Amino acid sequence: MKTVITITACLLILAGCQDSEENRLFTVANAAKKSIAARYKDPDAVLFKDLKLDWHQQHICGELNAKNGFGAYTGYEMFRAELKGTGADTTVTDFWTARSKLNQVFDDSAAGRLTTTLGEARLKIIYEVVCDDSTSHQSSSKSPIYIPVKS
């Protein structure tokens, strides 16, 4: 009987840890979304989907759709944001979209400032925008943490 009670208590404790970790991840993601949305003209209208945290929780990636100056949505585009913090105090220290980063690479290539091939630079952007570091991609079994949409 003591064994059953002990096992039940352990399972309840583990279930509580899982729930609090999940809530912490949602808190980090929501703080990051708020910080990213604040960069746009209409922060309340920014839509997010397919959010992922890297396993260190230093980056958040996904897609966002924001309104332009005419009040129309521009379409979803992939983004990556560097994060600082571990909870509700999480802020974004750097933010870019795949489109803006690719434009920068093409500009650097045209100006002769690119230190790698154009193909390597584009591949690096693809890995980064899906929260996967191209150098650790081959050596790590850790994958991004998907953040489901909470209704």
User: pLDDT tens digits for 44-91?
Assistant: 999 999 999 887 778 999 999 999 989 999 999 999 999 998 888 899
Q: How many domains does the chain have?
A: 1
Question: Which tokens in the block code for residue 19?
Answer: 């729930």
Return the higher-pLDDT residue of 136 and 54.
54
Question: Which tokens in the block code for residue 7?
Answer: 């096992």
Q: Mean pLDDT in the chain? A: 82
Instruction: Give the per-residue SS3 of the chain.
Output: CHHHHHHHHHHHHHHHHHHHHHHHHHHHHHHHHHHHHCCCCCHHHCEEEEEEECCCCCEEEEEEECECCCCCECCCEEEEEEEECCCCCCEEEEEEEHHHHHHHHHHHHHCCCCCCCHHHHHHHHHHHHCCCCCCCCCCCCCCCEEECCCC
Could you give the count of Cα atoms lying within 13 Å of 120 in the half-sphere of its Cβ?
6
Say what the pTM is: 0.75
Counting residues of the chain whose pLDDT is more than 90, the rounded percentage is 49
- The pairing of beta strand 91-97 with beta strand 59-65: unpaired
Q: In the prediction, which pLDDT does 4 show?
A: 44
The whole-angstrom separation of Cα 74 and Cα 80 is 18
Could you give the count of Cα atoms lying within 13 Å of 75 in the half-sphere of its Cβ?
2
Q: Under a CB-based contact definition with an 8 Å cutoff, are residues 32 and 94 in contact? A: no
* Domain carrying residue 31: 2-147
